[in-house]
Every structure is written in C-alpha cells, then in structure tokens.
Amino acid sequence: MNREPGGATLRLGAVWDDTSAAWRAFYPEGLPEDWRLPYYAQYWKDLLVPSLHWARHVSDQVWLDEVPEDLSLYFEVPSSVRRANSAMQALAEALGTRLGGFLLDHDDLPVDPGLSAYAFTGAPFPPMPGARGVAAYVGKAGSVLVVEPQPGLSLRHRRELLETLARTMPDRSQPLFLRCGPEELEEAETMLRLAGLS
C-alpha cells in the first residue's frame, strides 16, 4: 500500500446526525440508544457533534459518560453561545482524552488559555469541485476539515474530491469530517484505502 511521506494517513469521521434515516438504518435494529456511540466507534474513531446539537450534548452527562475511550469527539461551537468557555471547560473535564476539539467559526470568542489546545478557529479554504461546502479550522493541534460532498457524485468524482482534500490537508493526522450517510463514509474510506491514503 502506498503511504504518504512519514506514513501519515487520512482519518475520516462523520458529522453526528441521529435524525437521518441513513444513520438510523446504520445501527442494528433494536440496538439501545446508549450503545450507538460504541457501535459507531467500531468503524470510525472521530465524530463531530454539529452546533445544532450543542445544547443537547453539552448538558447530557449520561451521553458523555457513554463515549468510548477510543472515540474522539469534536464539537462545532455555535456563535450564539454566550457562555461557551464554561461549557467547553465542562466538556473538557467530562471527556478528558476523549475530547478531540472545539470548532469555532468566529475568532472573536476569547478562549480560556486552558482550552486553547482544543480550539480550532475557522480559516479560509477555497471552494472545491464536488463539494457543496468545505469548512477549514486551524489550531495549535493542527487542522480539521468538514466537507459536505455534492449529492449524486459519480464514484470517479468522489475519488477525485477525496484525493484533492488529502493533498490539501497540511496535517494528515487530523480528521476529515464528511457530512454524509454511513454508506458514503464507508465508500470514501474504501476509496482512500485503495488510493493508499488510509
């Protein structure tokens, strides 16, 4: 398998969407809700909680306790949160090593020094053919990309999008989150593996 210099591989993760029929179908029928994160972690090791679900998850200690040790959670922090630092601190304390980071669209939110290692701030990123949207975030720990592929892309165009993203990521050990269903995420992982990037 061809590896990039230094053996760096591209890490794929999903954007949490428990309202999606595709994601609900991913989990075996009858699987208790509190087993979903461990089941997901069998396939992928990074998960992004979108800002839409911030309030729900930031205050749900039971959900946080269910996060497996081998899963890293990232959170999109809504720009409207007034007490973001206290919520981020509570998440950092509750998750410990299971916290991947906080994605901030705005750089005017002062981040407490103790949280700066987990902060990724929005950065410019050029539009990409095949992507409906791309959001880039950079921080002390590297960079994170969140990509929504255009629906209905051919396999060839999906492969080209993934290869282009892999080439543009400055730190390939950081995750690339795809806003898509589990089948598309599995296909993306297969394409990256076949291209020697995973």
CB neighbour class for 151 (10 Å; exposed up to 12, middle 13-18, buried from 19): exposed
114: β partners: none
Copy the structure tokens of residue 139.
């921080």
What is the DSSP pairing of strand 119-123 with strand 131-139? antiparallel
How many C-beta neighbours within 10 Å does residue 9 have?
A: 17
Decide if 98 contacts 71 (C-beta within 8 A).
Answer: yes
Q: Where are the domains of the chain?
A: 9-194
Give CA–CA dist 160/166, Å, rounded.
10
How far apart are the C-alpha atoms of 174 and 10, rounded to whole Å? 7
Amino acid 2: pLDDT = 27
State the pLDDT at residue 194. 87
User: Domain 9-194 belongs to what architecture?
Assistant: Alpha-Beta Barrel (3.20)
Residues lower than pLDDT 70 in the chain: 1-9, 81-82, 107-108, 170-171, 198
